[in-house]
Chain A
């Protein structure tokens, strides 16, 4: 089955039976949107909470606020219905245990993602965020299930 691999600060949309994956999320957050009726899925791999603080705004997929909207619009264009979209999110870890302020970026990415979802009125139906390890995620557009693989903590499906 075809799998699209999405890099850092990038997004893609796929229709069933395509899988969407992104590898090695640390403090970044992977957000998937899914329309279960039309079986259209999308995934964006964001790095920072908001475009507002950024000096360089060339790549809107880098930020939670602009990246999620970009993903949503692209899905609607391909036939997804906004009111049916369901979100799942993963990542936002603090990779290094000796955490100080600047290391909390993972938490801030998760918080920003939730705010964006609330303002877009898209429900977050499942999440696996925080803690101190990396995650590889894969969205199955046939079922909408999100598989989360880690190096030492096993695999789970949400």
Chain B
């Protein structure tokens, strides 16, 4: 079967639930890696799933101008898209103090930025490898790009790349939180519509 989807309302309830479950596995495993890193319990909410017009994605990030650390990685292979993490300043401070014993230091220092890239890479890698295992697909994640700026400005490169060939992207949007909210942030992934076809075909095979 070949799925050519343009809007979320073309997904059946079963497909929608299946996609959400898959996102849950990916984000769940990523949260577990973060939990090990910071040695504390991490929770994530159930990811929201949207077939979104690409140029409307900044609106769902939550505060286009809000100042965040952004880590962006490309997902490539059998599935194509992006994984992005946006963390508020306070969360980065908490991560630095846990991992680097870095109190009140310059959060934009090279050491801190590369630590954040590494954290992002571990989370992104876990997310992608859990999807790889689940679908038995070959999926990789690029080295992370990280910067500290307005949320919309951080994600616009990924949106530009997606919009070369597409109007809509499948967006999973989740929030994670470490105990007492000392670390919180948004993770979201975007897949192109060809990837969605691949995923839906795999799901159908699993069900049959």
Contact = CB atoms under 8 A, between A and B. Distances in A.
Interface of A: 7-10, 23-28, 47-48, 53-56, 58-59, 62, 93, 95-98, 102-103, 105, 132-136, 151-152
A95 B65 contact: no
Contacts, number: 104
Q: Which range contains the number of B residues in contact with the other chain?
A: 20 to 34
Nearest to B167: A56
B154 to A, nearest CB: 6
Please report whether the interface of chain A is mostly helix, strand, loop or mixed according to DSSP.
loop
Interface in B135-179: 143, 145-157, 159-161, 163-167
A56 B56 contact: no
B100 to A, nearest CB: 21
A146 B154 CA distance: 22
Contacts of B163: 9, 47-48, 56, 62
A134 B154 contact: yes
Contact of B150 (A23, A48, A97, A102): A23
Contacts of B145: 95-96, 98
B145 to A, nearest CB: 4
21 contacts: A8-B56, A10-B55, A25-B152, A25-B153, A26-B149, A26-B152, A26-B154, A47-B55, A55-B164, A56-B166, A56-B167, A58-B167, A59-B55, A62-B55, A95-B147, A95-B157, A96-B147, A103-B157, A105-B157, A134-B149, A134-B154
Contacts of B64: 23-24
Contacts of B67: 151
B160 A7 contact: no
Contacts of A96: 72, 145-147, 157
B88 interface: no
A23 B151 CA distance: 10
Contacts of A95: 145, 147, 149, 153-154, 156-157
Nearest to A98: B145
Contacts of A102: 161
A151 B167 contact: no
Contacts of B150: 23-24, 134, 136, 151
A20 to B, nearest CB: 15
A47 B160 CA distance: 6
A96 B166 CA distance: 23
Identify the 8 closest CB pairs spanning chains A and B, nearest first.
A134-B153, A24-B152, A26-B153, A9-B55, A96-B145, A26-B156, A24-B150, A134-B150
B164 A53 contact: yes
Given A95-B153, A134-B149, A54 B55 contact: no
Interface in B100-121: none
Interface string B51-71: 000111111000011010000
Residue with the greatest number of chain B CB neighbours at <10 A, chosen from A55, A95, A96, A103:
A95
